[in-house]
Amino acid sequence: MLKRELIIKKRFLDKYNNAKSELIFKNHYELIVCVMLSAQCLDSRVNLITPSLFANYPDINSLANANLMNIKELIKSCNFYQNKAINLIKMAKSVVENHNSIIPMNFNDLTKLAGVGEKTANVVLCEGIGANVMAVDTHIFRVSKRLKISNAKTPNDCAKELTKLFKTDLDKLHKGIVLFGRYICKAKKPDCNNCFLNDLCDEFKQQKNS
């Protein structure tokens, strides 16, 4: 790792040492549901949806036996709610039938579940057990490009590049970079003047010199 990348890593770890997901969950069951719902949807919106969802379906067994129309009604304010409702029930049935009603906390089993791709699986592992894995969402993808720590064309390829680059503390970096992208290095009107990495950002330097 080059000195610049070492500095970037250290600053993220120092700044976001105790960072946590903004999704609200109590256990692995609630976690996987929250993460599945959060695809193309704000965490704040998910947090408004899940209280009534979990009140009606408090565990994986109840979700596996849920009525599809009821699930759709409960999550209808979420983007792509119809497909998500179908996948939530399919996921739950698979966990009940193949994993003794326990959410499997390993990548291979998670990615075999309906609605769980590589990013979702890694977020679940990151948040659920602090696994040393990197999940790349839109925020991390954007930040990685701006800081020029990844040239990948897809989020999954970006995750592989960042994993190879940083190697350790990937769960902490994931959580920190997400918050950094959400509140500082925003897609529109990034807060460059208050950014703790602006001395390492070519885009910021170009703005100052333009």
Per-residue model confidence (pLDDT) at position 89: 98
Per-residue model confidence (pLDDT) at position 23: 97
Considering the four listed CATH numbers 3.40.50.300, 3.65.10.10, 1.20.1250.20, 1.10.1670.10, the one that applies to the domain covering 3-18+136-209 is 1.10.1670.10
Per-residue model confidence (pLDDT) at position 209: 63
Candidates 84, 82, 119, 114; CA nearest to 97 is 114
Q: How many CB atoms lie within 10 A of CB 158?
A: 21
Please list, in sequence order, all residues whose beta carbon lies within 8 angstroms of the beta carbon of residue 63, skipping any fewer than 6 positions away: 29, 33, 57, 71, 88, 89, 92
For the stretch 117-153, pLDDT in tens is 999 999 999 999 999 999 999 999 999 999 999 999 9
119 labelled catalytic: yes
**What is 28-129's CATH number?**
1.10.340.30
The mean per-residue pLDDT over the stretch 39-49 comes to 95
> Choosing from 93, 119, 172, 175, which is the catalytic residue?
119
- Residues forming CATH 1.10.340.30 domain(s) in the chain: 28-129
72 labelled catalytic: no
- Residues forming CATH 1.10.1670.10 domain(s) in the chain: 3-18+136-209
The mean per-residue pLDDT over the stretch 20-37 comes to 97
Per-residue model confidence (pLDDT) at position 14: 96
Per-residue model confidence (pLDDT) at position 208: 65
This prediction's pTM: 0.92
> Choosing from 137, 171, 172, 175, which is the catalytic residue?
137
